[in-house]
Amino acid sequence: MTTIPNTPELAGRATSTGRTNTMAIISLIAGAVSVFGHLAIPGLGGGALAIVAIATGLIARGEIKRSGEQGMWMATVGIVLGAIHVALIALIVIVLVAAVFFLGSLALLHH
């Protein structure tokens, strides 16, 4: 006879279904191709895809925790790629704004 151990810490936790979470797949793909989004819509396309990667990754992680589906690593990688992309966009904007102010102040000094 086999006894089943009492595991209250696993109560309410679904077992792995073997199915991969769709949002996790979308997050990974959006994060991976976000850099190419700038070719379609310069300045905005890649940023939009990066935000999609972050949002769908966060949704996927919550769904995976509740359902036990596969794809946690995909969601995490999508979030990381999206966050890196958004950070790079922010850095570029900061550098461009600083360059405009610097060049503008140089132009004022020469007049």
In the chain, the amino acid numbered 28 is: L
* Residue 41 belongs to a domain: yes
Tell me the pLDDT tens digit for each residue of 88-108.
999 999 999 999 999 888 878
* Residue 15 belongs to a domain: no
Backbone angles phi, psi at 70, to 5 degrees: -90, 165
* Residue 86 belongs to a domain: yes
pTM of structure: 0.77
* Residue 26 belongs to a domain: yes
Instruction: Name the 3-class secondary structure at 2.
Output: coil
Distance CA 73, CA 61 (A): 9
* Residue 12 belongs to a domain: no
* Residue 90 belongs to a domain: yes
Tell me the pLDDT tens digit for each residue of 52-83.
999 999 999 999 999 999 999 999 999 999 99
Distance CA 59, CA 69 (A): 13
- Domain of 29? 20-109
Is residue 97 within 8 Å of residue 45, measured between CB atoms?
A: no
The number of domains in the chain is 1
Per-residue model confidence (pLDDT) at position 88: 93
* Residue 33 belongs to a domain: yes
